[in-house]
Amino acid sequence: MKIVHIAATAVLSLCLAGIAQAGQTFEAVKKRGFVQCGVSTNLPGFAFTDGKGEWQGIDVDTCRAIAAAMFGDAKKFKVVPLTTQARFTALQSGEVDVLTRNTTQTMSRDTTLGLIGVGVNFYDSQGIMVTKDANVTSAKNLAGATICVLPGTTTELNLTDWFRGLKMSFKPVLLDTVDEIKRAFASGRCDGITMDKSQLALARINYGNADKYVILPEALSKEPLGPMVRQGDEAWFNVVRWSLNALLEAEEYNLTSKNVDEVVKSNTAPHIQRILGTTPGMGKGLGLDDKWAYNIIKQVGNYGEIFDRSLGAASPMKLDRGLNALYNKGGLMYGWPIR
Protein backbone atom coordinates (compact mmCIF):
# COMPACT_ATOMS: atom_id res chain seq x y z
CA MET A 1 0.00 0.00 0.00
CA LYS A 2 2.88 2.31 0.75
CA ILE A 3 4.16 2.01 -2.81
CA VAL A 4 0.70 2.77 -4.15
CA HIS A 5 0.55 5.80 -1.91
CA ILE A 6 3.89 7.12 -3.08
CA ALA A 7 2.96 6.50 -6.71
CA ALA A 8 -0.36 8.27 -6.31
CA THR A 9 1.28 11.22 -4.62
CA ALA A 10 3.82 11.45 -7.42
CA VAL A 11 1.08 11.38 -10.06
CA LEU A 12 -0.90 13.95 -8.09
CA SER A 13 1.98 16.38 -7.78
CA LEU A 14 2.78 16.01 -11.48
CA CYS A 15 -0.80 16.84 -12.41
CA LEU A 16 -0.87 19.79 -10.05
CA ALA A 17 2.32 21.13 -11.55
CA GLY A 18 0.50 21.11 -14.86
CA ILE A 19 -2.56 22.92 -13.57
CA ALA A 20 -1.34 25.19 -10.83
CA GLN A 21 -0.86 28.57 -12.39
CA ALA A 22 -0.85 30.79 -9.34
CA GLY A 23 1.47 33.62 -10.24
CA GLN A 24 2.22 32.06 -13.57
CA THR A 25 -0.54 33.31 -15.85
CA PHE A 26 1.74 36.05 -17.12
CA GLU A 27 4.45 33.53 -17.99
CA ALA A 28 1.95 31.13 -19.52
CA VAL A 29 0.46 33.81 -21.75
CA LYS A 30 3.90 34.99 -22.83
CA LYS A 31 4.95 31.47 -23.70
CA ARG A 32 1.71 30.71 -25.54
CA GLY A 33 2.04 33.81 -27.70
CA PHE A 34 -1.57 34.96 -27.50
CA VAL A 35 -4.12 36.03 -24.88
CA GLN A 36 -7.31 34.05 -24.32
CA CYS A 37 -10.26 36.19 -23.26
CA GLY A 38 -13.68 35.02 -22.16
CA VAL A 39 -16.37 37.14 -23.84
CA SER A 40 -20.16 37.17 -24.19
CA THR A 41 -21.67 34.74 -26.67
CA ASN A 42 -23.41 37.50 -28.59
CA LEU A 43 -23.94 40.87 -27.01
CA PRO A 44 -24.04 43.72 -29.53
CA GLY A 45 -21.78 46.58 -28.50
CA PHE A 46 -19.78 44.39 -26.12
CA ALA A 47 -18.87 41.20 -27.95
CA PHE A 48 -20.37 40.24 -31.28
CA THR A 49 -19.24 39.16 -34.73
CA ASP A 50 -19.54 41.72 -37.50
CA GLY A 51 -20.46 41.09 -41.14
CA LYS A 52 -16.96 39.79 -41.87
CA GLY A 53 -17.06 37.31 -39.01
CA GLU A 54 -14.61 39.39 -36.95
CA TRP A 55 -15.23 39.81 -33.26
CA GLN A 56 -16.04 43.41 -32.32
CA GLY A 57 -17.27 45.33 -29.30
CA ILE A 58 -15.95 47.09 -26.25
CA ASP A 59 -15.10 43.86 -24.41
CA VAL A 60 -13.28 42.44 -27.42
CA ASP A 61 -11.33 45.67 -27.85
CA THR A 62 -10.32 45.51 -24.18
CA CYS A 63 -8.92 42.09 -25.01
CA ARG A 64 -7.16 43.52 -28.07
CA ALA A 65 -5.61 46.21 -25.89
CA ILE A 66 -4.22 43.57 -23.53
CA ALA A 67 -2.80 41.66 -26.50
CA ALA A 68 -1.23 44.83 -27.91
CA ALA A 69 0.40 45.61 -24.56
CA MET A 70 1.60 42.06 -24.08
CA PHE A 71 2.90 41.24 -27.58
CA GLY A 72 2.90 44.54 -29.46
CA ASP A 73 0.32 43.01 -31.77
CA ALA A 74 -3.42 43.50 -31.18
CA LYS A 75 -4.19 40.43 -33.30
CA LYS A 76 -2.56 38.01 -30.85
CA PHE A 77 -5.70 37.12 -28.97
CA LYS A 78 -8.36 34.42 -29.04
CA VAL A 79 -11.89 34.92 -27.75
CA VAL A 80 -13.79 32.16 -25.99
CA PRO A 81 -17.54 32.90 -26.03
CA LEU A 82 -18.96 31.96 -22.62
CA THR A 83 -22.48 31.79 -21.21
CA THR A 84 -23.23 33.51 -17.92
CA GLN A 85 -23.21 30.09 -16.27
CA ALA A 86 -19.84 29.00 -17.60
CA ARG A 87 -17.88 32.24 -17.35
CA PHE A 88 -16.43 32.00 -13.83
CA THR A 89 -15.64 28.31 -14.10
CA ALA A 90 -13.80 28.94 -17.36
CA LEU A 91 -11.63 31.59 -15.70
CA GLN A 92 -11.07 29.57 -12.52
CA SER A 93 -9.96 26.52 -14.47
CA GLY A 94 -7.54 28.47 -16.66
CA GLU A 95 -9.49 27.99 -19.87
CA VAL A 96 -9.23 31.76 -20.31
CA ASP A 97 -6.64 34.19 -18.93
CA VAL A 98 -8.98 37.10 -18.41
CA LEU A 99 -12.73 37.57 -18.40
CA THR A 100 -13.75 40.62 -20.44
CA ARG A 101 -17.35 39.63 -20.45
CA ASN A 102 -19.77 42.39 -19.47
CA THR A 103 -19.37 41.21 -15.89
CA THR A 104 -20.52 43.19 -12.86
CA GLN A 105 -17.88 43.61 -10.18
CA THR A 106 -19.36 42.68 -6.81
CA MET A 107 -17.94 41.93 -3.42
CA SER A 108 -19.06 38.32 -3.33
CA ARG A 109 -17.50 37.70 -6.73
CA ASP A 110 -14.21 39.13 -5.45
CA THR A 111 -14.28 37.16 -2.22
CA THR A 112 -15.70 33.69 -2.91
CA LEU A 113 -14.72 32.73 -6.45
CA GLY A 114 -10.96 32.97 -6.22
CA LEU A 115 -11.17 35.76 -8.79
CA ILE A 116 -10.54 39.49 -8.60
CA GLY A 117 -12.01 42.44 -10.47
CA VAL A 118 -9.43 44.60 -12.23
CA GLY A 119 -11.28 47.79 -13.08
CA VAL A 120 -14.23 49.10 -15.02
CA ASN A 121 -14.58 49.38 -18.77
CA PHE A 122 -18.27 50.32 -18.75
CA TYR A 123 -20.51 51.85 -16.08
CA ASP A 124 -24.02 50.57 -16.59
CA SER A 125 -27.23 50.46 -14.59
CA GLN A 126 -30.18 48.16 -14.81
CA GLY A 127 -33.48 49.43 -16.14
CA ILE A 128 -36.92 48.16 -17.09
CA MET A 129 -38.50 48.59 -20.51
CA VAL A 130 -42.27 48.45 -21.02
CA THR A 131 -44.60 49.03 -23.93
CA LYS A 132 -45.97 52.51 -24.39
CA ASP A 133 -49.59 51.40 -24.21
CA ALA A 134 -49.06 50.04 -20.70
CA ASN A 135 -49.22 53.71 -19.63
CA VAL A 136 -46.52 53.32 -17.01
CA THR A 137 -44.19 56.21 -16.29
CA SER A 138 -42.26 54.82 -13.35
CA ALA A 139 -40.96 51.42 -12.30
CA LYS A 140 -42.72 52.07 -8.99
CA ASN A 141 -46.13 51.32 -10.47
CA LEU A 142 -45.39 47.88 -11.81
CA ALA A 143 -47.10 45.98 -8.97
CA GLY A 144 -48.17 42.52 -10.16
CA ALA A 145 -46.35 42.80 -13.47
CA THR A 146 -44.71 39.90 -15.26
CA ILE A 147 -41.08 40.64 -16.07
CA CYS A 148 -38.86 38.63 -18.42
CA VAL A 149 -35.26 38.32 -17.27
CA LEU A 150 -32.07 36.39 -18.03
CA PRO A 151 -31.30 33.71 -15.44
CA GLY A 152 -28.23 33.61 -13.26
CA THR A 153 -27.01 37.18 -13.40
CA THR A 154 -27.07 40.02 -10.90
CA THR A 155 -29.96 41.33 -13.00
CA GLU A 156 -32.28 38.70 -11.58
CA LEU A 157 -31.36 39.56 -7.99
CA ASN A 158 -31.61 43.33 -8.50
CA LEU A 159 -35.06 42.90 -9.97
CA THR A 160 -36.17 40.85 -6.96
CA ASP A 161 -34.59 43.36 -4.57
CA TRP A 162 -36.37 46.24 -6.28
CA PHE A 163 -39.82 44.70 -5.88
CA ARG A 164 -39.06 43.50 -2.37
CA GLY A 165 -37.97 46.99 -1.37
CA LEU A 166 -41.29 48.40 -2.55
CA LYS A 167 -43.23 45.46 -1.03
CA MET A 168 -44.79 44.68 -4.40
CA SER A 169 -45.41 41.30 -5.95
CA PHE A 170 -44.22 40.41 -9.43
CA LYS A 171 -43.76 37.35 -11.61
CA PRO A 172 -40.38 36.61 -13.16
CA VAL A 173 -40.16 34.62 -16.37
CA LEU A 174 -36.62 33.37 -16.88
CA LEU A 175 -35.62 32.88 -20.48
CA ASP A 176 -32.17 31.70 -21.41
CA THR A 177 -31.22 33.96 -24.30
CA VAL A 178 -31.69 37.64 -25.05
CA ASP A 179 -33.44 36.73 -28.30
CA GLU A 180 -36.02 34.57 -26.50
CA ILE A 181 -36.66 37.43 -24.08
CA LYS A 182 -37.15 39.94 -26.86
CA ARG A 183 -39.58 37.59 -28.59
CA ALA A 184 -41.58 36.92 -25.46
CA PHE A 185 -41.81 40.64 -24.77
CA ALA A 186 -42.84 41.50 -28.32
CA SER A 187 -45.65 38.96 -28.19
CA GLY A 188 -46.84 40.24 -24.82
CA ARG A 189 -45.85 37.29 -22.64
CA CYS A 190 -44.35 39.79 -20.20
CA ASP A 191 -45.28 43.34 -19.30
CA GLY A 192 -41.66 44.39 -19.16
CA ILE A 193 -38.10 43.21 -19.67
CA THR A 194 -35.14 44.10 -17.55
CA MET A 195 -31.47 44.24 -18.53
CA ASP A 196 -28.66 46.72 -18.31
CA LYS A 197 -29.80 49.96 -19.91
CA SER A 198 -27.24 49.71 -22.70
CA GLN A 199 -28.85 46.40 -23.72
CA LEU A 200 -32.36 47.82 -23.44
CA ALA A 201 -31.42 50.70 -25.73
CA LEU A 202 -30.20 48.21 -28.30
CA ALA A 203 -33.26 45.97 -27.94
CA ARG A 204 -35.48 48.97 -28.48
CA ILE A 205 -33.70 49.79 -31.75
CA ASN A 206 -33.87 46.18 -32.88
CA TYR A 207 -37.64 46.11 -32.60
CA GLY A 208 -37.76 48.57 -35.47
CA ASN A 209 -40.56 50.67 -33.98
CA ALA A 210 -38.71 52.28 -31.10
CA ASP A 211 -41.60 54.64 -30.25
CA LYS A 212 -43.69 51.70 -29.08
CA TYR A 213 -41.38 51.09 -26.12
CA VAL A 214 -40.39 53.12 -23.10
CA ILE A 215 -37.30 52.64 -20.94
CA LEU A 216 -38.39 53.65 -17.46
CA PRO A 217 -36.17 56.25 -15.79
CA GLU A 218 -35.36 54.36 -12.58
CA ALA A 219 -31.98 52.71 -12.16
CA LEU A 220 -32.45 49.44 -10.34
CA SER A 221 -28.78 48.97 -9.61
CA LYS A 222 -25.19 49.98 -10.16
CA GLU A 223 -23.42 47.78 -12.67
CA PRO A 224 -19.71 48.46 -12.88
CA LEU A 225 -18.74 46.10 -15.70
CA GLY A 226 -15.13 45.17 -16.11
CA PRO A 227 -12.47 42.53 -16.57
CA MET A 228 -11.67 39.87 -13.98
CA VAL A 229 -8.58 37.70 -13.52
CA ARG A 230 -7.61 34.86 -11.20
CA GLN A 231 -6.28 35.77 -7.79
CA GLY A 232 -2.60 35.31 -7.03
CA ASP A 233 -0.91 36.68 -10.12
CA GLU A 234 -0.21 40.37 -9.63
CA ALA A 235 2.01 40.61 -12.71
CA TRP A 236 -0.87 39.61 -14.96
CA PHE A 237 -3.33 41.70 -12.92
CA ASN A 238 -1.10 44.72 -13.55
CA VAL A 239 -0.97 44.18 -17.30
CA VAL A 240 -4.78 44.12 -17.48
CA ARG A 241 -5.26 47.04 -15.08
CA TRP A 242 -2.76 49.34 -16.78
CA SER A 243 -3.99 48.45 -20.26
CA LEU A 244 -7.38 49.78 -19.14
CA ASN A 245 -5.78 52.90 -17.68
CA ALA A 246 -3.70 53.48 -20.82
CA LEU A 247 -6.94 53.62 -22.84
CA LEU A 248 -8.32 56.32 -20.53
CA GLU A 249 -5.09 58.29 -20.24
CA ALA A 250 -4.85 58.30 -24.02
CA GLU A 251 -8.31 59.75 -24.38
CA GLU A 252 -7.64 62.42 -21.78
CA TYR A 253 -4.48 63.59 -23.61
CA ASN A 254 -6.10 63.29 -27.06
CA LEU A 255 -3.87 60.48 -28.23
CA THR A 256 -5.76 58.63 -30.96
CA SER A 257 -4.86 55.79 -33.31
CA LYS A 258 -4.66 58.40 -36.09
CA ASN A 259 -2.42 61.01 -34.48
CA VAL A 260 -0.23 58.97 -32.17
CA ASP A 261 2.65 58.69 -34.67
CA GLU A 262 2.65 62.48 -35.10
CA VAL A 263 2.64 63.00 -31.35
CA VAL A 264 5.54 60.62 -30.80
CA LYS A 265 7.64 62.75 -33.14
CA SER A 266 6.50 66.21 -32.05
CA ASN A 267 5.19 66.31 -28.51
CA THR A 268 7.74 66.82 -25.78
CA ALA A 269 5.44 66.92 -22.74
CA PRO A 270 6.97 64.54 -20.20
CA HIS A 271 3.72 62.78 -19.26
CA ILE A 272 2.98 62.02 -22.90
CA GLN A 273 6.51 60.77 -23.52
CA ARG A 274 6.25 58.48 -20.51
CA ILE A 275 3.03 56.96 -21.79
CA LEU A 276 4.32 56.52 -25.33
CA GLY A 277 7.61 55.07 -24.19
CA THR A 278 9.86 57.71 -25.76
CA THR A 279 11.11 58.19 -22.22
CA PRO A 280 12.04 54.63 -21.30
CA GLY A 281 11.24 52.88 -18.02
CA MET A 282 7.47 52.50 -17.78
CA GLY A 283 7.30 49.08 -19.43
CA LYS A 284 10.01 47.49 -17.31
CA GLY A 285 7.88 47.14 -14.17
CA LEU A 286 5.12 45.50 -16.15
CA GLY A 287 7.62 43.10 -17.69
CA LEU A 288 6.74 44.53 -21.08
CA ASP A 289 8.22 46.56 -23.87
CA ASP A 290 8.37 50.35 -23.26
CA LYS A 291 6.15 50.80 -26.32
CA TRP A 292 3.28 48.84 -24.64
CA ALA A 293 0.89 51.79 -24.35
CA TYR A 294 1.87 53.17 -27.77
CA ASN A 295 0.96 49.80 -29.28
CA ILE A 296 -2.43 49.85 -27.59
CA ILE A 297 -3.23 53.36 -28.86
CA LYS A 298 -1.84 52.76 -32.34
CA GLN A 299 -3.56 49.43 -32.95
CA VAL A 300 -6.75 49.65 -30.89
CA GLY A 301 -7.34 53.34 -30.20
CA ASN A 302 -8.20 55.17 -27.01
CA TYR A 303 -11.26 54.55 -24.83
CA GLY A 304 -13.30 57.21 -26.64
CA GLU A 305 -12.61 55.67 -30.03
CA ILE A 306 -13.55 52.21 -28.79
CA PHE A 307 -16.76 53.50 -27.22
CA ASP A 308 -17.75 55.41 -30.34
CA ARG A 309 -17.42 52.48 -32.72
CA SER A 310 -18.98 49.92 -30.38
CA LEU A 311 -21.75 51.75 -28.59
CA GLY A 312 -21.62 55.45 -29.40
CA ALA A 313 -22.13 57.78 -32.33
CA ALA A 314 -20.58 55.47 -34.94
CA SER A 315 -22.65 52.45 -33.89
CA PRO A 316 -26.34 51.64 -34.37
CA MET A 317 -26.90 52.06 -30.62
CA LYS A 318 -25.97 55.77 -30.52
CA LEU A 319 -25.59 55.62 -26.73
CA ASP A 320 -24.63 58.77 -24.87
CA ARG A 321 -21.37 58.60 -23.00
CA GLY A 322 -23.27 59.40 -19.79
CA LEU A 323 -21.44 57.86 -16.83
CA ASN A 324 -18.78 56.63 -19.25
CA ALA A 325 -17.59 60.11 -20.19
CA LEU A 326 -14.22 61.18 -18.80
CA TYR A 327 -14.22 62.71 -15.31
CA ASN A 328 -13.50 66.16 -16.75
CA LYS A 329 -16.55 65.87 -19.00
CA GLY A 330 -19.04 64.92 -16.30
CA GLY A 331 -18.53 61.14 -16.28
CA LEU A 332 -16.81 58.60 -14.06
CA MET A 333 -13.95 57.47 -16.30
CA TYR A 334 -10.70 58.46 -14.68
CA GLY A 335 -7.42 57.07 -15.92
CA TRP A 336 -4.84 56.54 -13.19
CA PRO A 337 -1.56 58.30 -13.87
CA ILE A 338 1.01 56.32 -15.80
CA ARG A 339 4.19 57.54 -14.17
Is there binding between residue 6 and other proteins (CB under 8 A)? no
Q: Candidates 32-40, 140-148, 257-265, 291-299: pick the segment binding other proteins (CB under 8 A).
A: 140-148
Q: How far, in Å, CA of 217 to CA of 211, rounded?
A: 16
Minimum distance from residue 106 beta carbon to other proteins (Å): 10
Is there binding between residue 175 and other proteins (CB under 8 A)? yes
Q: How far, in Å, CA of 196 to CA of 250, rounded?
A: 27
Is there binding between residue 84 and other proteins (CB under 8 A)? yes
Please identify which residue in 112, 266, 268, 328 interacts with other proteins, judged by CB under 8 A.
Answer: 112
Q: Candidates 18-26, 53-61, 207-215, 245-253: pick the segment binding other proteins (CB under 8 A).
A: 18-26
Binding marks (x or -) toward other proteins, 188..227, rule CB under 8 A?
xx-x------------------------------------
Give bridge partners of residue 262 from the DSSP assignment. Answer: none
CA 162 to the chain's CA centroid:
24
Please identify which residue in 24, 34, 81, 180 interacts with other proteins, judged by CB under 8 A.
Answer: 180
Please identify which residue in 142, 193, 239, 311 interacts with other proteins, judged by CB under 8 A.
Answer: 142
Minimum distance from residue 322 beta carbon to other proteins (Å): 27
Is there binding between residue 179 and other proteins (CB under 8 A)? no
Give bridge partners of residue 56 from the DSSP assignment. Answer: 48
Nearer to other proteins, 27 or 290 (CB): 27
Tell me if 32 sits within 8 A of 243, measured CB to CB: no
Is there binding between residue 11 and other proteins (CB under 8 A)? yes
Please identify which residue in 26, 46, 48, 170 interacts with other proteins, judged by CB under 8 A.
Answer: 170
Angle CA 237–240–241, to nearest 5: 80
Residue 248 is classified by DSSP as: H
Is there binding between residue 159 and other proteins (CB under 8 A)? yes
Q: How far, in Å, CA of 244 to CA of 9, rounded?
A: 42
Give bridge partners of residue 36 from the DSSP assignment. Answer: 78
Q: How far, in Å, CA of 253 to CA of 249, rounded?
A: 6
Minimum distance from residue 146 beta carbon to other proteins (Å): 7
Q: b/e per residue, 85-124, with b = 16+ CB within 10 A?
A: eebbebbeeeebbbbbbbbbbeeebeeeeebbbbbbbbbb
Residue closest to 77 by CA, chosen among 140, 29, 149, 132? 29
Q: How far, in Å, CA of 237 to CA of 52, rounded?
A: 32
Minimum distance from residue 176 beta carbon to other proteins (Å): 6
Nearer to other proteins, 172 or 322 (CB): 172
Give bridge partners of residue 78 from the DSSP assignment. Answer: 36
Q: Candidates 157-165, 214-222, 252-260, 295-303: pick the segment binding other proteins (CB under 8 A).
A: 157-165
Q: How far, in Å, CA of 232 to CA of 24, rounded?
A: 9
Tell me if 305 sits within 8 A of 313, measured CB to CB: no
* Positions in the binding site for other proteins (CB under 8 A): 4, 8, 11-12, 15-16, 19-20, 22, 84-85, 88-89, 92, 108-109, 112-114, 134, 142-146, 148, 151-153, 156-157, 159-161, 163-164, 170-176, 180, 183-184, 187-189, 191, 230-232
